Amino acid sequence: MHRALTIPEILRYICEYAEDDTLATMARCARFLHDPAISVLWSVLPDLGPLVMCFPEDAWTLVSDHNLHVTRPLTRGDWTRVLKYLPYVRQLGNGFSVLGYAIGYEAWEAICTFRPTVILFPNLRTLYWYPLQLINRHIPHLLAMVGERLTKFDIGWVQYREDTNALLQATFHIVVERFPHLRHFYIGSPCATATWPNDETIKSLSSLARNLSSLSSFRSTEVPITQGALYRLARSKTLTSLSVCLPSYATWAQVHVSLQGERPFENLTSLDLVTTTEAYIAFSAAMKLPQVQTLSLCLSDPSHPNDFATFFTAIRHQFSPAALRNIQILHTQSVDSLTWAWQSQIPPVIHSAYLVPLLGFKHLRSFDLRLRSRYALDIHFYHNMAKSWPDIEELFVAYERGCWHDVVPTIQFLVTFAVHSPKLRHLGLCFDASMWSHPPELLAGYEHGMGAGARDELFGELANKPSTSQLDTLTVGYSNILQPSYVAAFLSRVFPSLSSVETYPSDHFAQYAWSAEWSSVNELLPLFQRSQEDGQRRLSQDTHKRAKKVAPSDSGQSPASTPSAAEQD
Confidence class for position 328, pLDDT limits 50, 70, 90 = very high
Q: What is the pLDDT of residue 329?
A: 96
With CA atoms as reference, report the closest residue to 41 among 57, 22, 67: 22
Higher-pLDDT residue of 5 and 347 is: 5
Q: Is the CB of residue 238 less than 8 Å from the CB of residue 216?
A: yes
Please give the residue that has the higher pLDDT: either 292 or 460: 292
For the chain, what is the mean pLDDT? 84
Residues 383 and 378: their CA atoms lie apart, in Å, by: 9
Q: What is the mean pLDDT of residues 246-266?
A: 69
Looking at residue 455, what is its pLDDT?
63
Q: Residue 28: exposed, middle, or buried by beta-carbon count in 10 A (0-12, 13-18, 19+)?
A: exposed
92: helix, strand or coil: strand
* pLDDT per residue as tens digits for the range 38-96: 888 899 998 898 999 999 999 999 887 678 999 999 999 999 999 999 999 999 997 55
More confident position, 220 or 459? 220
Percentage of the chain beyond pLDDT 70 is: 82
Q: Determine the 3-state secondary structure of 471 from DSSP.
A: coil
Q: Looking at residue 253, what is its pLDDT?
A: 59
More confident: 135 or 79: 79
- Long-range CB pairs of 482-486, under 8 A, 24+ apart, other chains included: 482/433, 482/434, 482/435, 482/436, 482/437, 482/517, 483/436, 483/437, 483/439, 483/442, 484/517, 484/518, 484/520, 484/521, 484/524, 485/439, 485/520, 485/524, 486/436, 486/439, 486/442, 486/443
**Residues forming beta bridges with residue 175, ordered by sequence position:** none
Give me the pLDDT at residue 486, please. Answer: 87
Question: Coil, strand, or helix at residue 424?
Answer: coil
Category of 540 on φ-ψ map: left (φ > 0), alpha (ψ -120 to 50) or beta: alpha
pTM value is 0.83
pLDDT band for position 448 (cuts 50, 70, 90): very low
Q: What is the pLDDT of residue 157?
A: 82
Predicted local distance difference test score (pLDDT) of residue 67: 86
Residues 6+ apart with CB under 8 A from 243: 186, 190, 218, 219, 220, 221, 270, 271, 272, 273, 296
pLDDT band at 569 (very low <50, low <70, confident <90, very high): very low
DSSP H helices in 422-473: 440-443, 452-459
As a whole number of angstroms, the distance between CA 150 and CA 333 comes to 32
- In this prediction, residue 560 carries a pLDDT of 47
Q: How confident is the model at residue 101, as a pLDDT?
A: 79
Q: Is the pLDDT of residue 438 over 60?
A: no
What pLDDT was estimated at residue 347? Answer: 61
Cα 224 from Cα 233, distance rounded (Å): 14
CA dist., res. 453 & res. 461, Å (int): 12
Q: How confident is the model at residue 552 (pLDDT cuts 50, 70, 90)?
A: low
Beta bridge partners of 98: none
Has residue 339 got a pLDDT over 50? no
Range in 105-119, 212-226, 437-451 the model is least confident about: 437-451
Q: What is the mean pLDDT of residues 498-507?
A: 76
Domain boundaries, the chain: 7-39
Of 56, 57, 51, 59, nearest to 93 (Cα)?
Answer: 51
pLDDT of residue 314: 96
